[in-house]
């Protein structure tokens, strides 16, 4: 057993190895879409089909809105651990969390706030008022970006422009979340070619996710050919990813992208804010009839967002959550979900589970 002592509010977490991604390929692999350009709908649909992820520019959100949230959030995370819990409640799953993600044993080198933001009220009573205000302003702005992207996706798919947006934005009983993740600099070093896991590989269960980060790198996405590439940070852009629900709504034409975060090795923290656009619990998640070709069968059995969310929250982060809902082998990925050690070139890495058990 190796004792790891780390400074600051994050004391000890199991060391998990997060293989380094292929930096050389990043820029070319990540589509960039100017949301205000005439061809934006086709470009968004292309990006969702090919990668399931893109960088969005010309989104119309003033820099000050995100900057204000960033500074308020950093001030919050600098508070003593007990104050953060007292102000937000311990994550179950909403609230303040540190090192644990979800309730099924996942850990990462991070602390976070996970909030429900439907109808634009941040439902945590005792957050510092300036943070609450910054969160509400940011949420209103990022929701608009999400809504615009959903309109563009609908247009790109050739379905009614309002169809997807109305499942998420302003939807009665809708399920929108905002997550603020803080990854402090990590003093630990994983052996071989690996970093320390900030947030383990996973797909997002919702329809879409819209992410904004500060200048500190760490996010990686998995391309369709299996390669992991780092996402160069760009605080002026938003990064959009396809969630599991959109994969189903398009009958697999768009694929929810696997992504993960490696903890920062330098002196700077990573701060990311993600808006998750989910729908109402009663909403049926099934391929949109307008996208289906004649005679095309659904790849998934019928379910509602409520059913999927309940099932998803019983899974581990890296599990293939859509697996139990798939009807045909064609739609499936390896049943075990996360690769044991997908791309560690040193060849010395072990499956995460064993690492957790072994290294403390
Ligand atoms: C391990 C888990 C954390 C998560 C719920 C889950 O059981 C599986 C999905 C995870 C995820 C990933 C995307 C979002 O960050 C999140 C809020 C979500 O909706 O699904 C998290 C969940 C969480 O942190 O509670
Ligand atoms: O923090 C990040 O950059 C990504 C986090 C993430 O994927 C998530 O919270 O679901
Ligand atoms: Fe995610």
Complex ipTM, two decimals? Answer: 0.99
In which element (H, E) is residue 37 found? Answer: none
**Largest CA-CA distance found in the chain, in angstroms, rounded:** 60
Residue 344 lies in a domain: no
Q: In sequence order, what E strands does 190-258 have?
A: 194-202, 208-213, 219-222, 228-230, 238-242
* Nearest ligand atom owner, CA of 206: 1
* Helices and strands per DSSP (H, E), number in the chain: 9, 15
Please report, for residues 74, 95, 120, 139, the alpha-carbon distance to residue 130 in angstroms, rounded to integers and kept in the order given. Answer: 12, 17, 15, 14
CB burial of 89-101 (b: ≥16 within 10 Å; e: otherwise) equals eebeebbbbbbbb
CA–centroid distance for 50 within its chain: 18
DSSP 250-284: TTTSS-PPPEEEEPP-SSPPEEEEEEEEE--TT-E
Distance 296 CA to ligand 3 centre (A): 30
Ligand 2 and 258: CB distance under 6 A: no
Instruction: Please give the DSSP secondary-structure letter assigned to residue 191.
Output: S
What pLDDT score does 116 carry? 94
* Nearest ligand atom owner, CA of 256: 3
What pLDDT score does 179 carry? 98
Residue 280 lies in a domain: yes
Residue 148 lies in a domain: yes
pLDDT digits (tens), the chain, 360 positions: 233 344 444 545 666 777 777 766 666 789 999 999 999 999 999 999 999 999 999 999 999 999 999 999 999 999 999 999 999 989 999 999 999 999 999 999 999 999 999 976 777 668 999 999 999 999 999 999 999 999 999 999 999 999 999 999 999 999 999 999 999 999 888 778 789 999 999 999 999 999 999 999 999 999 999 999 999 999 999 999 999 999 999 999 999 999 999 999 989 999 999 999 999 999 999 999 999 999 999 999 999 999 999 999 999 999 999 999 999 654 445 433 344 433 332 222 223 433 332 221
Residue 147: which CATH number?
2.60.120.330
- Identify the residues whose C-beta falls under 6 Å from ligand 1: 93, 101-102, 104, 106, 114, 177, 179, 202, 204-205, 276, 312-313, 315-317
Residue 214 lies in a domain: yes
Mutate to test the pocket of ligand 2, among 259, 270, 312, 316 (most ligand atoms within 8 A of CB): 259
Strands across the sheet containing 106-116: 32-34, 53-57, 238-242, 208-213, 270-278, 175-183, 106-116, 95-101
Bridge-based pairing of strands 219-222 and 53-57 is unpaired
Return the sign of the alpha-carbon dihedral for residues 51, 108, 265, 195. Answer: negative
Distance 284 CA to ligand 2 centre (A): 26
Ligand 2 and 199: CB distance under 6 A: yes
Ligand 2 and 96: CB distance under 6 A: no
* Closest-lying ligand 2 atom to the alpha carbon of residue 183: 1
Instruction: Please give the DSSP secondary-structure letter assigned to residue 118.
Output: G
What pLDDT score does 33 carry? 98
pTM of the model: 0.90
Residue 350 lies in a domain: no
Residue 310 tokens read as 């309940």
CB atoms within 10 A of CB 70: 20
Q: Which domain holds residue 52?
A: 10-325
- Whether omega before 78 lies within 30 degrees of 0, making that bond cis, reads no
* CA nearest neighbour of 136 among 114, 120, 113, 115: 120
In sequence order, the β-bridge partners of residue 34 are 57
What pLDDT score does 5 carry? 42
Q: How many domains does the chain have?
A: 1
Minimal-distance CA residue to ligand 1 atom 21 = 102
Distance 111 CA to ligand 1 centre (A): 14
* Closest-lying ligand 2 atom to the alpha carbon of residue 202: 7
Residue 333 lies in a domain: no
Residue 357 lies in a domain: no
Residue 343 lies in a domain: no
Ligand 2 and 181: CB distance under 6 A: yes
């Amino acid at each position: 057993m190796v004792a790891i002592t780390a400074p600051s509010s994050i004391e000890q977490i199991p060391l998990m190895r997060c293989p380094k991604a292929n930096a050389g390929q990043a820029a070319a692999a990540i589509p960039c879409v100017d949301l205000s350009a005439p061809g934006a709908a086709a470009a968004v649909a292309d990006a969702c089909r090919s990668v399931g992820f893109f960088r969005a520019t010309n989104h119309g959100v003033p820099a000050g809105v995100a900057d204000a949230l960033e500074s308020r959030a950093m001030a919050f995370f600098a508070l003593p651990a007990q104050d953060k819990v007292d102000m937000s409640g311990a994550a179950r799953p909403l609230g303040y969390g540190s090192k644990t993600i979800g309730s099924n044993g996942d850990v990462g080198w991070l602390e976070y706030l996970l909030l429900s933001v439907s109808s634009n009220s941040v439902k945590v009573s005792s957050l510092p008022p300036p943070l609450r205000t910054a969160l509400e302003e940011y949420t209103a702005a990022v929701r608009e970006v999400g809504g615009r992207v959903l309109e563009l996706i609908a247009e790109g798919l050739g379905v009614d422009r309002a169809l997807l947006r109305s499942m998420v934005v302003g939807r009665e009983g809708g399920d929108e979340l905002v997550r603020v993740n803080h990854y402090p600099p990590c003093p630990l070093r994983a052996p071989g070619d690996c970093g320390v896991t900030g947030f383990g590989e996973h797909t997002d269960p919702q329809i879409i996710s819209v992410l904004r980060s500060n200048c500190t790198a760490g996010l990686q996405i998995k391309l369709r050919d299996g390669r992991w590439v780092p996402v160069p940070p760009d605080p002026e852009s938003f990064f959009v990813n396809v969630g599991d629900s959109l994969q189903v709504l398009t009958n697999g034409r768009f694929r929810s992208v696997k992504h993960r975060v490696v903890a920062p090795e330098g002196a700077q923290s990573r701060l990311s804010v993600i808006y998750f656009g989910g729908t109402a619990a009663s909403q049926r998640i099934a391929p949109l009839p307008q996208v289906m070709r004649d005679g095309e069968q659904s790849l998934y059995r019928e379910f509602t967002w409520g059913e999927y969310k309940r099932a998803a929250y019983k899974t581990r982060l890296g599990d293939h959550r859509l697996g139990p809902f798939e009807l045909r082998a064609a739609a499936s990925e390896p049943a075990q979900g996360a690769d044991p050690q997908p791309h560690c070139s040193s060849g010395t890495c072990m499956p995460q589970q064993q690492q957790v058990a072994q290294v403390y």
